[in-house]
Amino acid sequence: MTTPTDPVAIVGAGQSGLAAARAVRDAGMRPLVLEAGERPSGSWPGYYDSLTLFSPARYSAMPGFPFPGDPDRYPTRDEVADYLESYAAHLDVEIRTGTRVSDVESRGRGFVVRTADGQAIPAAGIVAASGSFGKPYLPVLPGQEDFTGETLHVAQYRDPKRYAGQRVVVVGGGNSGVQVAYELAEVASVTLATLQPISFMQQRIGGQDLHHWLETSGFDLLSGSWLGHLVPGPLVLDTGDYHNALESGRFDRQPMFTAFDGDGVVWSDGRREKVDVALFATGYRPDLGYLRSLGALDAEGLPAHVHGISTTHVGLVYLGLEFQRSFSSNTVRGVSRDADYVAGQLAAYIRDAAGTIGL
């Protein structure tokens, strides 16, 4: 039987899980963070080698814990992983690494969390903060099963060396797709295949990094429902290098191909071209399979929620979903705002606020 004194189980120790741990602790509850990896740094160690944050260090820190070093630099993948590990130690909360959550069951007013190594952990509430890196989205195109070249998602990509001299098509016109195409073009022949022309946004405006304006203007707080009216589509942050590379022919951009064909692809104008590698930078979906048997997900595996509060199970909340409450919801700089919000909802439920007022 679960009790109000049981911990709040937080699934994932990336930026979202650690933000949740701080917020749950500050709300007077006991957080227990369960992380599948060996470090309390989420998916960061698994990203491609050259990845850097698109925001400067000064806009990439958790509350009360500044990012070390030059605040105007763009931290690397490894620096972010190390920073999160330091933040986790600073929190002084219980974190169990190497602990993969496999299932969550409802029990009374609480839950039981089951792990891949056989643990059954009672929990007063659940924060699903497992991110999306474990569930890359790979679209299926005609002829794909018979393609004789290599197909991979950017989640599997590490560095350009092994693609030297090859013909590579990178699918996706967001930040990751453009960044990977740019570095691959040093050693390979690269085309960026996108549904729409690439929209570049200047990294610096009026002498300040864009993130200064995102924060001071309030853009970071805009809801997803409004952003659809204000933003035309995916935007690529650029200091000028990417746009210049595209204009100079270092790599080119073509409308998305329509099909695979043996050892090549068929472009939208009917041309067939031999291709060695199709690398998909097509995003991710929330990695929440452990909630399927609970009945918290829809047919596509997406959570039923409003601003991160489950609409299927009281006591279950989410953190780090894209546009969960605002433009910055799934960023290092923005996730803590959402963490405070969902932790407040959890605290009210676990302390039986409804019962206190006679309901």
3-state secondary structure of 14: coil
pLDDT of residue 44: 94
Backbone conformation region of residue 58, classed left if phi is above 0, alpha if psi is from -120 to 50, else beta: alpha
Most distant CA pair in the chain: distance in Å?
A: 72
In the three-class reduction of DSSP (H, G, I as helix; E, B as strand; rest coil), residue 9 is classed as strand
- Distance between CA 88 and CA 51 in Å, rounded? 22
- Taken in order of first residue, the domains within the chain and their CATH numbers are 8-135+284-357 (3.50.50.60), 144-198+233-280 (3.50.50.60)
Average pLDDT over residues 3-27: 95
Phi, psi of 44 (to 5 degrees): -55, -40
Nearest Cα to Cα of residue 337 among 235, 203, 213, 222: 222
Predicted confidence (pLDDT) per residue in 116-151, tens digit: 999 999 999 999 999 999 999 999 999 999 999 999
Predicted pLDDT of residue 2 = 64
pLDDT in tens, 43-79: 999 999 999 998 999 999 999 999 999 999 999 999 9
The pLDDT, as a whole number, for residue 229 is 86
Assess whether pLDDT exceeds 70 at residue 307. Answer: yes
Mean predicted confidence (pLDDT) in 151-180: 96
207 phi, psi to nearest 5 deg: 80, 0
CB 17 within 8 A of CB 33: yes
The DSSP H or E segment spanning 253 is strand 252-255
Cα(first)–Cα(last) distance of the chain, in Å?
22
**How far is residue 21 from each of residues 98, 141, 175, 272, measured CA to CA in Å?**
17, 41, 29, 52
pLDDT in tens, 228-283: 888 877 789 898 999 999 999 999 999 999 999 999 999 999 999 999 999 999 99
* Strands 264-266 and 259-261, sheet pairing: antiparallel
C-alpha span between 147 and 156 (Å, rounded): 18
H-type alpha helices, 126-209? 175-184
H or E element, residue 189: strand 189-194
